[in-house]
Amino acid sequence: MSGDPRAAAATCLAEVLAQGRSLSAALPPQLAKLAPAQRALAQELAYGTLRYRPRLAPALARLLRRPLKRRDADVEALMLAGLYQLTYMRVPAHAAVAETVSATAALGKDWARGVVNAVLRRYGREQEALLAEVDRDPAARWAHPRWLVQALREAWPQQWEAICAANNAHPPMTLRVNARRGTREDYLARLAAAGIEARPGAHAPEAIVLAAPLGVEALPGFAAGDVSVQDAAAQLAAHVLAPAPGERVLDACAAPGGKTAHLLERCPDIALTAVDVDAERLARLRENLTRLGLEAHLVAGDAADPTWWDGRPYDRILLDAPCSASGVIRRHPDIKTLRRPEDLPALAAQQAKLLEGLWPLLRPGGMLVYATCSVLPVENAEQVARFLAQHPEARPLPLDAAWGAPAGAGRQILPGADSMDGFYYARLCKGGATA
């Protein structure tokens, strides 16, 4: 299989579609088998096919006489990648068909040459009529699972189509300048000197948006910690929490540590504890802090059951809660395949448990910031409203900001707004005025 980017993409896609693996776990091992020049194509095929699978899969079903066997999920994935090339890429049709058919050999599925060839050639002839037929279903037309289209329509009746379009777009590569090592203006000048086109990001003072993505090794001073990769919406967390020097701060659910690092870059004189339940992810957080020359107290533990707490209350707590990730689908298109509607009640229950577990750790007058990368109210405004109703000692603090829009006690950023990911933020104060 080594050396064939289409076979590598199909193998990765089969692991996502048939085994439920995440794209971030399934793709790197396949890319490692390819020459550097082939990796971009494999990556584009994997991401793009998953991005448009809700539209391509019903088209493929109309082209197959009978469904393929489960053990041939890689062949089905290869055909979906073939449809993606013919529909959304600039690969000449004859080359897309020939190279995709050839990839059956790299998969060890020579028997499939005929069916793959027949399916792709028929699609080439009937593409317009086939897509017109499947597009009668809004789920196919917007390339989203049906349950998610319904949820977005209910939550955002005026914006759901724009949200779907943003979810299908390629996201920008956004940087966070390390405020301890220079200003954004300085780093923009370094990028310009290196021939890298970029502009300041909106709202987040350290954000820079690149005109085109590139490998981090090409970024000036990346290895030295001058800059990190982080979406601008995520960068707002440190500004919303706004810790002061000398404060005791808790970053719950901290891994992989982008927000932890940002807090320390902006305010190095805080006592920061970073907690995550996953020890392996916590090791990645440690690596990130080491690259940036930052230090925090790292704890492997459950934020919802803080048996690890030393009993000293925190002045500020950041809870970036696990969620549906419905605000970052453009960066993780496998969410369309892997997330199920029945996940939402379980996630909402986990978010409530985290809030209940962390609230006693906040000192009177302290502030907790609740954040998710979701656009669904059940995880955001409704979650915070339920918590406030059950805790009369908690009160929301206004978020006067130029980003997002009011959503219950907090503010909601929708995907694509000012080039940012979808994010939700709310600030909760315990009792009296915040110090």
Hey, which residues are catalytic here? 373
- Classify each residue of 407-421 as buried b or exposed e, where b means 16 or more C-beta atoms within 10 Å of its C-beta: bbbbbbbbbbbbbbb
Residue pair 164/148 in contact by the 8 Å Cβ criterion: no
Report how far residue 413's alpha carbon sits from residue 175's, in angstroms, rounded to the nearest whole number. 19
Q: CA-to-CA distance for 275 and 286, rounded, in angstroms?
A: 11
140 to each of 20, 46, 59, how far by Cα in Å?
21, 19, 9
Contact indicator for 87, 68 with CB cutoff of 8 Å: no
Spatial distance between the Cα atoms of 130 and 424, rounded to a whole number of angstroms: 38
Please give the structure tokens belonging to residue 74: 């890689």
For residue 424, the cross-strand partners are 372, 412
Q: What are phi and psi of 129, to 5 degrees?
A: -70, -40
Tell me the CA distances in angstroms from 133 to 17, 143, 208, one per residue in order: 24, 14, 42
Which one-letter amino acid corresponds to residue 420?
Answer: M
**C-alpha to C-alpha distance for 190 and 175, rounded to whole angstroms:** 13
Q: Which two tokens stand for residue 333?
A: 């298109």
Bridge partners, residue 227, by sequence: 177
In a 3-state reduction of DSSP, which class is residue 229? strand
Peptide bond into 36 cis (omega under 30): no
Residue 179, SS3 per DSSP? coil
Integer Cα distance of 81 and 317 in angstroms: 44
108: left (phi over 0), alpha (psi -120 to 50) or beta: left
Count CB atoms within 10 A of the CB of residue 25: 12
